[in-house]
């Protein structure tokens, strides 16, 4: 059995690595040729190369299910077509035991993707965003007007800024919530960084006491030591955040009363998506038996159809979760449950 497990593991990983790097290369080349017209004059070759290299961890985790299902179909159709599965059965090894090593690989890949998303992928995304801004998106964010910024300022302030100019240190249409007693909400038309402090103009402060009081002001300063650079921080898109960072982001929004359905949906998908690798591998095994005489072209095409079907189902449920039609948890796990149910049905009918 050890010989069989080693053989299947070796053959599967060889196919998996071939396909994962093929799809990564295809995506990188496509992105490069569609983005080449947006290169800045100041862009450097090393910066562009580093940017695309830093895309690899994210693409690896994103494209892994696609490589998993196609690798599974290729291997199972080959084993069935060359009667290797039948030979194992004649030797007294059941089909389910034969593919046990493949199922183990699926679980390992799933946990590996989850781990990469929380470590290497998140860090790579941070650096890649900075390089993209420097080489493709014009001047760095510190020199441009930023919109709709939400940021926590220790120890107890939460800022929502409609428009912010980091270069000039000026804000417009600001809402500030102070959670330390006495709690208050400040709404100001504009703010400015003057003599190492923030001064706000033309606003009103609401004291959230038993009898709420409203105090208008023309000019008001707050004891904050955070300069404009602190407010110009940009978050990654939620789908490229780690679970820890996205959880912090959600908590900040919740504490200020903002809706978080979209963010919660993304968070739940971060838990469910890595296990798509196991589920599609599980589904691909019985389908590969059905396709035993279908050939490599059929396996490749069907693998694309199944994986795209999963991605479309995931996108549809994600939209429903963000829209509040179903809970974020169900939105994230229903695609997995659907494909797992089909896999279990087909798998129980094999032998």
pLDDT surpasses 80 at 166: yes
Asked whether residue 54 falls in the same domain as residue 152, the answer is no
The residue among 73, 76, 69, 68 whose CA lies nearest residue 95 is 76
CA 300 to chain centre: 26
Which range has the worst mean pLDDT, 5-14, 221-230, 338-347?
Answer: 221-230
Asked whether residue 231 falls in the same domain as residue 265, the answer is no
Residue 251 lies in a domain: no
Asked whether residue 8 falls in the same domain as residue 109, the answer is yes
Give the Cα-Cα-Cα angle 27, 30, 34 (nearest 5 degrees). Answer: 140
What pLDDT score was predicted for residue 342? 93
Residue 125 lies in a domain: no
What pLDDT score was predicted for residue 56? 93
CA 163/CA 84 separation, integer angstroms:
66
Compute the average pLDDT of residues 31-48: 82
Task: Name the more confident of 258 and 344.
Answer: 344
Please give the torsion angle defined by the CA atoms of residues 31, 35, 41 and 42, in that order, rounded to the nearest 10 degrees.
-40
Q: Residue 229, CB half-sphere, CA atoms under 13 Å: how many?
A: 1
Asked whether residue 156 falls in the same domain as residue 223, the answer is yes
Residue 249 lies in a domain: no
Range of the domain at 311: 2-119+260-348
Where is the domain boundary, 213, 241, 269? 241
Residue 250 lies in a domain: no
Asked whether residue 177 falls in the same domain as residue 278, the answer is no
Place 255 in a pLDDT band, splitting at 50, 70 and 90. low
Where is the domain boundary, 241, 272, 304? 241
Compute the average pLDDT of residues 172-195: 88
pLDDT surpasses 90 at 123: no
Rg (CA), the chain: 26
What are the E-state strand segments in the chain? 146-153, 157-165, 170-178, 184-194, 197-207, 213-222
Compute the average pLDDT of residues 135-141: 58
Using one digit for the tens of pLDDT, what is the confidence trace for 57-113? Answer: 999 999 999 999 999 999 998 888 887 877 777 777 777 788 888 999 999 999 999
Residue 72 lies in a domain: yes
Give percent of the chain above pLDDT 90. Answer: 39
CA 160/CA 229 separation, integer angstroms:
16
Asked whether residue 271 falls in the same domain as residue 222, the answer is no
Residue 155 lies in a domain: yes
Compute the average pLDDT of residues 148-173: 84
Asked whether residue 210 falls in the same domain as residue 298, the answer is no
CA 350/CA 251 separation, integer angstroms:
47
pLDDT surpasses 80 at 316: yes
pLDDT surpasses 70 at 294: no
Asked whether residue 155 falls in the same domain as residue 235, the answer is yes
Residue 126 lies in a domain: no
What pLDDT score was predicted for residue 257? 61
pLDDT surpasses 50 at 346: yes
What pLDDT score was predicted for residue 140? 46
Q: Which residues contact 32 (CB under 8 A, 6 or more apart)?
A: 52
Asked whether residue 163 falls in the same domain as residue 227, the answer is yes
Residue 293 lies in a domain: yes
Asked whether residue 283 falls in the same domain as residue 344, the answer is yes
Total domains in the chain come to 2
Asked whether residue 217 falls in the same domain as residue 313, the answer is no
Asked whether residue 98 falls in the same domain as residue 192, the answer is no
């Amino acid at each position: 059995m050890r010989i069989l497990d080693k053989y299947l593991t070796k053959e599967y990983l060889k196919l998996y690595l071939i396909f994962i790097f093929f799809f990564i290369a295809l995506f990188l080349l496509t992105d490069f040729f569609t983005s080449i017209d947006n290169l800045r004059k100041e862009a450097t070759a090393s910066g562009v190369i580093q940017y695309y290299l830093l895309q690899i961890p994210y693409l690896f985790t994103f494209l892994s299910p696609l490589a998993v299902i196609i690798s599974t179909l290729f291997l199972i159709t080959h084993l069935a077509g060359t009667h290797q599965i039948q030979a194992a059965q004649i030797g007294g090894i059941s089909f389910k035991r034969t593919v046990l090593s493949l199922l183990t690989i699926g679980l390992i890949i799933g946990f590996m993707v989850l781990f990469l998303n929380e470590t290497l992928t998140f860090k790579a995304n941070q650096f890649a965003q900075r390089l993209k801004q420097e080489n493709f998106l014009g001047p760095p964010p510190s020199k441009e007007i930023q919109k709709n910024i939400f940021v926590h300022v220790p120890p107890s302030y939460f800022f929502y800024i409609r428009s912010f100019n980091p270069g000039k240190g000026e804000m417009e249409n600001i809402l500030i919530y102070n959670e330390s007693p006495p709690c208050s909400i400040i709404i100001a038309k504009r703010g400015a960084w003057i003599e190492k402090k923030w001064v706000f103009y033309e606003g009103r402060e609401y004291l959230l006491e038993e009898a709420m009081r409203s105090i208008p002001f023309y000019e008001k300063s707050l004891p904050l030591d955070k300069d404009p650079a602190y407010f110009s921080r940009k978050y990654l898109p939620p789908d490229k955040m780690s679970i820890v960072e996205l959880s912090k982001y959600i908590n900040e929004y919740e504490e200020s009363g903002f809706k978080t359905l979209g963010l919660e949906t993304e968070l739940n998908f971060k838990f469910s998506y890595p296990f798509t690798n196991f589920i599609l591998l599980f589904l691909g095994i019985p389908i590969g038996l059905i396709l035993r005489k279908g050939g490599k072209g059929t396996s490749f095409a069907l693998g694309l159809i199944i994986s795209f079907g999963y991605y479309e189902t995931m996108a549809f449920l994600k939209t429903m979760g963000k829209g509040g039609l179903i809970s974020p948890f169900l939105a994230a796990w229903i695609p997995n449950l659907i494909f797992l149910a089909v896999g279990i049905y087909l798998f129980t009918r094999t032998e």
